[in-house]
């Protein structure tokens, strides 16, 4: 689960990191008022709070001037006007689609002009099974680009999950990054705070980019990005409460509430599958047989190992709420449960939802013959329902029917 920059910074501040003062605002007037509180005779930075990265280089769609999601403002009027523009235009960045994303929240941040920028990040290193802290003096840049071009410029320290980053590890990193004197101690404190939040709150990704030495010599967190382990939210009600459903795809939010794993894609064939691996593989086979005809998967949907009528009903409804969908492939491998039960669930779901597009069903497993009889008997009520006896036939059939 992702959170906003301001939420990440507040967690870091609570863990002892030095974070520039900010005020969260939702209207231009609040932005103007925040300017008065934070400008201190200079300026403030107005920053759009959206989950997508690349805000600084982004562009407000349909706005006449060049303006992205981050702007330094030297007057109250300017701060108000910038806030107004951001709150009324969608922001397009390299991480959003071409339609951009709506901005509903801003922060007004006290100016902390950077003299030098660093990168700090913490993520699980799957190859060794423990988190690592990564640090680089190439801050502010896209860290993946640094990793690809200059892997030697990224320092990595494995962190024991039992202890978190140890003070000596932070100290060594700070000196290796080139911090000196008091600034090294300040950087060390921020690293320890990052590790503390990561460990205490079960983050899956925690980044400070950039960590900055300001022109006045302070060391601060200028931007932060956290992603939390969904599987650990049960023990962090405070983190779960930070979820912003406005930032998520509405169909995905709806699926989540029904315990379905759903991800929206841009093709035209909906998929309803049991099991995540098989669901991915089903998308792949649609693409394999469909790409020559410009046909691809419209979604990933794993309804879980066992298929219930309730899960299938909600799954079909979510798939069919996408107007692009021209056909659906149902691919279910029945495990221990009888395929007949699954077929009955699908027929019940079909009658409940109504299939306005072709639906090709491929079932395999226990008592599949019985299941095929049930499906064929349902054809009077569900004329668009077709059955296929194997996966290749099913994929080709749904591609053909929805070309």
Which residue, 39 or 195, has its beta carbon nearer to other proteins?
A: 195
CB 210 within 8 A of CB 222: yes
Q: Is 380 in the site for other proteins (CB under 8 A)?
A: no
Site string for other proteins, 242-271 (x = CB under 8 A): -------------------x-x-x------
Cβ closest to other proteins, residue 2 vs residue 116: 2
Our finding on whether 390 is near other proteins (CB under 8 A) is yes
For the chain, the residue count is 403
x/- mask, other proteins, residues 284-323, rule CB under 8 A, reads xxxxxx------xx--x-x--x------------------
Least Å distance, CB 286 to other proteins, is 8
Beta strands at 261-264 and 299-302: parallel, antiparallel or unpaired: antiparallel
Taking the complex as a whole, how short is the minimal distance between the CB of residue 156 and other proteins, in angstroms? 13
At residue 347, what are phi and psi to the nearest 5 degrees? -65, -45
Pairing of strands 327-334, 269-273: parallel
Query: Measured from the CB of residue 17, what is the shortest distance to other proteins in angstroms?
Result: 20
Q: Find the helix or strand (DSSP H, E) in which 273 lies.
A: strand 269-273
Preceding amide of 368 cis, omega within 30: no
Of 56, 309, 335, 370, the residue at the interface with other proteins (CB under 8 A) is 335
Q: By CB under 8 A, what part of segment 129-168 binds other proteins?
A: 129-131, 143-144, 147-148, 160-162
Contact between residue 262 and residue 318 where contact means Cβ atoms under 8 Å apart:
yes
- Given 137, 240, 276, 320, the residue binding other proteins (CB under 8 A): 276
- Kindly name the residue from 119, 138, 247, 314 that is annotated as catalytic: 119
Residue 149's contacts (CB-CB under 8 Å, 6 or more residues apart) are none
Q: Is 52 or 382 the residue whose CB approaches other proteins more closely?
A: 52
- Is residue 372 a contact partner of residue 262, using CB atoms and an 8 Å limit? no
Beta bridge partners, 273, equal 302, 331
User: How many residues sit in the footprint of other proteins (CB under 8 A)?
Assistant: 58
* Beta carbon nearer to other proteins, 30 or 142: 142
How many CA atoms lie within 13 Å of 124's alpha carbon, on the beta-carbon side?
11
Q: Reply yes or no on whether 119 is catalytic.
A: yes
Q: Which of 188, 207, 247, 314 is catalytic?
A: 207
The torsion region of residue 40 among left (phi > 0), alpha (psi -120 to 50) and beta comes to left
Task: Please say which residue, 61 or 276, places its beta carbon nearer to other proteins.
Answer: 276
Region from 17-25, 33-41, 188-196, 364-372 binding other proteins, contact rule CB under 8 A: 364-372
Closest C-alpha to 378, from 395, 394, 354, 357: 354
Active-site residue set: 119, 207
């Amino acid at each position: 689960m992702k959170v906003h920059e301001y939420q990440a910074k507040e967690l870091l501040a609570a863990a002892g990191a030095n974070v520039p003062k900010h005020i969260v605002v939702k209207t231009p007037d609040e932005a103007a008022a925040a300017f008065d509180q934070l400008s201190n005779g200079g300026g403030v930075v107005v920053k759009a709070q959206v989950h997508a990265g690349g805000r600084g280089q982004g562009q407000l769609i349909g706005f006449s001037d060049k303006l992205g999601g981050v702007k330094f403002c030297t007057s109250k009027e300017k701060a108000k006007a910038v806030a107004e523009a951001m709150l009324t235009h969608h922001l397009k960045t390299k991480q959003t689609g071409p339609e951009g994303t709506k901005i509903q929240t801003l922060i007004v941040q006290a100016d902390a002009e950077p003299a030098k920028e660093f990168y700090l990040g913490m993520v699980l290193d799957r190859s060794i099974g423990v988190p690592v802290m990564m640090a680089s003096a190439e801050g502010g840049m896209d860290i993946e680009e640094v990793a690809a071009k200059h892997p030697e410029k990224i320092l990595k320290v494995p962190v024991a999950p039992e202890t978190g980053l140890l003070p000596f590890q932070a100290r060594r990193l700070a000196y290796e990054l080139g911090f000196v004197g008091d600034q090294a101690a300040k950087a060390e404190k921020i690293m320890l705070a990052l590790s503390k939040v990561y460990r205490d709150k079960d983050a899956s990704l925690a980044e400070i980019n950039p960590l900055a030495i300001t022109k006045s010599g302070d060391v601060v967190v200028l931007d932060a990005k956290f992603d939390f382990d969904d599987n650990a939210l049960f023990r962090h009600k405070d983190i779960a409460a930070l979820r912003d459903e406005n930032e998520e795809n509405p169909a995905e939010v709806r699926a989540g509430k029904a315990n379905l794993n759903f991800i929206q894609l841009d093709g035209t064939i909906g998929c309803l599958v049991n099991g995540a691996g098989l669901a991915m593989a089903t998308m792949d086979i649609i693409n394999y047989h469909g790409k020559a005809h410009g046909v691809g998967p419209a979604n990933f949907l794993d309804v879980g190992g066992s298929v219930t009528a309730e899960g299938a009903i909600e799954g079909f409804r979510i798939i069919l709420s996408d107007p692009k969908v021209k056909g659906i492939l149902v691919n279910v491998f029945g495990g221990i449960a009888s395929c007949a039960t699954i077929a009955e669930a699908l027929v019940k779901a079909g009658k409940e939802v109504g299939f306005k597009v072709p639906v090709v069903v491929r079932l395999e497993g226990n008592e599949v013959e019985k299941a095929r009889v049930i499906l064929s008997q349902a054809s009077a009520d569900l004329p668009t329902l077709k059955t296929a006896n194997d996966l290749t036939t099913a994929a080709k059939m749904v591609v053909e029917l929805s070309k």
